């Protein structure tokens, strides 16, 4: 029988003042799923890296954390930083921009097992990340 995922959904402000709330929720999910501390740290860094260059202007962001035994999935939705999107989708060499100074492909590749960009009709996008945990 397949396990039903635990899903936590947060609607957060676009500014970095929401990061403590995000950290607490990730800590709670990690505690519930007996997540190793290094995997938890990787997920926190991945979320923070994505949010770091996001503009504080505009609507809200949605963070969804889904956990089943053995894996976690994190969706960050409502992102509008097109430089971040282009950096994650690019196949050639990374070109830093004012609103995306880190090579986010390298950052996410080192922190999560997989990620994908989901297009939204609003012109914004989402990043879905997966992490296997034992």
- Residue 66 within a domain: yes
The answer to whether residue 92 is domain-embedded is yes
- Domain contains 78: yes
Global pTM exceeds 0.85: yes
What's the CA gap between 27 and 42, in Å, rounded? 12
Domain membership flag for residue 61: yes
Residue 1 domain flag: no
- Please indicate, yes or no, if residue 85 is contained in any of the structural domains: yes
Task: Tell me the residue range of the domain where 31 lies.
Answer: 6-132
Q: Structurally, how many domains does the chain consist of?
A: 1
Q: E strands of the chain, at which residues? A: 6-12, 61-68, 71-79, 114-119, 125-132
End-to-end CA distance of the chain: 19
Question: pLDDT tens digits for 19-43?
Answer: 899 999 999 888 888 888 899 899 9
Q: What is the CATH number of the domain that holds 14?
A: 3.30.565.10
- With a CB cutoff of 8 Å and minimum separation 6, the contacts of 67 are 5, 6, 7, 29, 32, 33, 73
For residue 65, is it within any domain?
yes
pLDDT tens for residues 58-103?
778 999 999 877 888 999 999 998 888 888 888 877 676 666 667 8
Please indicate, yes or no, if residue 74 is contained in any of the structural domains.
yes
Exposed, middle or buried: residue 35 (CB in 10 Å: 0-12, 13-18, 19+)?
buried
């Amino acid at each position: 029988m397949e396990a039903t995922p635990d899903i936590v959904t947060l609607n957060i402000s676009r500014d970095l003042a929401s990061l403590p709330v995000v950290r607490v929720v990730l800590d709670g999910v990690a505690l519930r799923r007996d997540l190793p501390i290094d995997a938890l740290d990787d997920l926190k860094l991945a979320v923070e890296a994505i949010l770091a260059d996001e503009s504080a202007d505009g609507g809200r962001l949605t963070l969804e954390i889904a956990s089943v035994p053995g894996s976690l999935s994190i969706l960050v939705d409502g992102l509008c930083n097109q430089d971040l999107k282009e950096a994650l989708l690019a196949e050639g060499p990374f070109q830093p921009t004012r609103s995306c100074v880190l090579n986010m492909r390298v950052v996410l590749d080192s922190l999560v097992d997989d990620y994908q960009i989901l297009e939204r009709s609003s012109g914004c996008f989402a990043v879905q990340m997966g992490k296997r945990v034992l």
